[in-house]
Amino acid sequence: MTETATGFRVEDTGGGIAPEKREGLFDDFGKGEGRVNLSRDVGHGIGLHLVRRFADRCGWGFRFEDIPTPEGAVAGTRFVVELVRGETGSKEA
């Protein structure tokens, strides 16, 4: 039997997340100090913390990854939530 999953992803086409900022990325009220573009910094720093906490409580997968360019640079960040739908196949008695 295998688990099946569906999910969604959100992509940010900003400058990506610096390696030294990744450890605290999901802390509550963390606003990603040191980002490349702070001109539109209007959030409260709680969104990623809440998504991560909700996904953990539901048993869902949640990860983030760089969006690479063909040249090997970083074109932004992708956040992925995987919603596990359960097992497929038949159970043998």
> Does some domain include residue 30?
yes
| Percent of residues, the chain, with pLDDT higher than 70 | 69
DSSP string, 37-53: --TT----S-HHHHHHH
> Does some domain include residue 93?
no
C-alpha 36, offset from chain centre: 19
Q: What is the CATH number of the domain that holds 24?
A: 3.30.565.10
**Calpha distance 11→17 (Å, rounded):** 12
Is the pTM higher than 0.75? The answer reads: no
User: What is the extent of the structural domain holding 44?
Assistant: 2-88
> Does some domain include residue 83?
yes
Average of per-residue pLDDT values in the chain: 75
Place of tokens 């196949």: 89
The structural domain count of the chain equals 1
Q: What is the pLDDT of residue 88?
A: 47
> Does some domain include residue 53?
yes
> Which tens digits make up the pLDDT trace of 5-50?
788 888 888 878 888 878 878 887 765 554 444 445 556 677 888 8
Mean pLDDT, residues 46-58 taken together = 87
**Calpha distance 36→87 (Å, rounded):** 43
Question: Which has the higher per-residue pLDDT, 59 or 38?
Answer: 59
CA nearest neighbour of 9 among 73, 62, 76: 62
